[in-house]
Amino acid sequence: MAACHEHGMRLLIYFGYELSNIAPEWDLYGDEILVKPQRGGYHRGDYEQTAYICCFQSAWKEYYLTSIARMIDEYDIDGVYLDGTTEPFGCTNELHGDGYVGPDGQRHRTYPIFAVRDLMRRMREVVKSRKPDGLISAHMSATVSIPTLAFVDDYWDGEQLDVHERGFRLPLDAFRAEFMGHNWGVPSEFLSYLNKPFTYEESVPLALLHDVAVRPYARSGELMGMMSRVWDAWDTIDIERAEWFPYWAGGGPVTAASDDVLVSTHVGPGGALVVAMNATGEDRTMRLSLGMDATSVRELIRDREVPVQDGAVSIETPAWEGAVLLVR
């Protein structure tokens, strides 16, 4: 941890939602704390273990919170990266009070939303009381549960889309509703796995068009390069002081020659960050009128200079791809 902190890095430790069948707690507590009917079954062949979903209506919640506190106190970690933790999984386990017997005599699921909310509320206190600048970063898939996500510093969503093949298109109103974060008041990041279903050249402009970053992961060196150039551009234009003009509100000073090219723009003290997306199924030339004096324009996805002619730029763009422009 000291080495991370010396290099200006913060380290978040993974906390998920499952218990492995080779964990010491399995024999003692498995029956009591697991979701019933048993769900999950994530297998890791390297260790010959299978992990199953736990329920936070059970005593597992206290163990979970205590473990986070100990990790911060003993190892000086900077917060937690959660995986599925904010989701109130349906459960019938009567050993911790879940489920009910219906008129048909069968036990039916209940969803412990209040238990998970209590977990997240207390987790925020555990982290922030020890590290005021500590982070709770929550990965979830298609379950934007605001009663539980309200306590995190950011959420990331999108892994569930990798079941779709190339050619799948996420409706833009669906993106604005689930993946954007502005409507929840919680910052968001978008997950994109290469070609499942989007290429990075598709996912980066799609997300940035909505003021959402694409979150790189360990094996995505290409995506890391794209996003690092965007991060540098945010610093250049002073993104915290910039005004944002989304495409559904006109896109600000930058306008496209065609209605099916969507444009969103951040205008800051140091310049502008322009995101334009070819929202058609055909390759085309995007012509953008900048509406501002420009000394240089750099396209960040492919890392190239773009010439300005008569206050406009023209960019050859494949179907459903786009351009991210740093305008100085």
* Per-residue pLDDT tens digits for 165-203: 988 999 999 999 999 999 989 999 999 887 789 999 999
Is the confidence at residue 218, as pLDDT, over 70? no
- The single-letter DSSP state of residue 310 is T
Quick one: 90 and 58 in the same domain?
yes
Of the residues 187, 211, 241, which one is the last residue of a structural domain?
241
Quick one: 302 and 234 in the same domain?
no
Quick one: 299 and 158 in the same domain?
no
Quick one: 177 and 250 in the same domain?
no
Of the residues 241, 270, 291, which one is the last residue of a structural domain?
241
Quick one: 87 and 165 in the same domain?
yes
Section 72-95 average pLDDT:
97
Average pLDDT, the chain: 95
* Per-residue pLDDT tens digits for 200-215: 999 999 999 999 999 9
Q: In angstroms, rounded to a whole number, what is the distance separating the alpha carbons of residues 230 and 125? A: 33
Of the residues 203, 226, 241, which one is the last residue of a structural domain?
241
* Per-residue pLDDT tens digits for 229-262: 999 999 999 999 999 999 999 989 999 999 999 9
**Residue 52: pLDDT band with limits 50, 70, 90:** very high
Is the confidence at residue 72, as pLDDT, over 90? yes
Quick one: 80 and 15 in the same domain?
yes
Is the confidence at residue 219, as pLDDT, over 80? no
Q: Which one-letter amino acid corresponds to residue 80? A: V
Report the number of distinct structural domains present in the chain. Answer: 2
CATH of residue 302: 2.60.40.1180
Section 36-56 average pLDDT:
91
Residue 64 is part of which domain span? 2-241
Chain length of the chain: 328
Is the confidence at residue 217, as pLDDT, over 90? no
Quick one: 235 and 258 in the same domain?
no
Angle at 213 between CA 235 and CA 226, to 5 degrees: 70
Quick one: 125 and 250 in the same domain?
no
Return the structure tokens found at 282: 């055909």
Quick one: 309 and 175 in the same domain?
no
Is the confidence at residue 46, as pLDDT, over 90? no
Section 271-280 average pLDDT:
97
Quick one: 27 and 98 in the same domain?
yes
Q: Is the peptide bond before 246 cis (omega within 30 degrees of 0)?
A: no
Quick one: 43 and 168 in the same domain?
yes
Quick one: 106 and 21 in the same domain?
yes
User: What's residue 168's pLDDT?
Assistant: 92
CATH of residue 116: 3.20.20.70
C-alpha distances out from residue 240 to 230, 234, 254, 268, 293, Å:
14, 8, 20, 8, 22
Section 266-294 average pLDDT:
96
**Residue 221: pLDDT band with limits 50, 70, 90:** confident
Alpha helices of the chain — where are they, by DSSP H?
2-6, 25-33, 60-75, 113-130, 146-149, 172-174, 200-208, 221-237
Burial of 30 (0-12, 13-18, 19+ CB in 10 A): middle
Does residue 134 contact residue 116 with C-beta atoms inside 8 Å?
no
Section 38-55 average pLDDT:
90
Is the confidence at residue 324, as pLDDT, over 90? yes
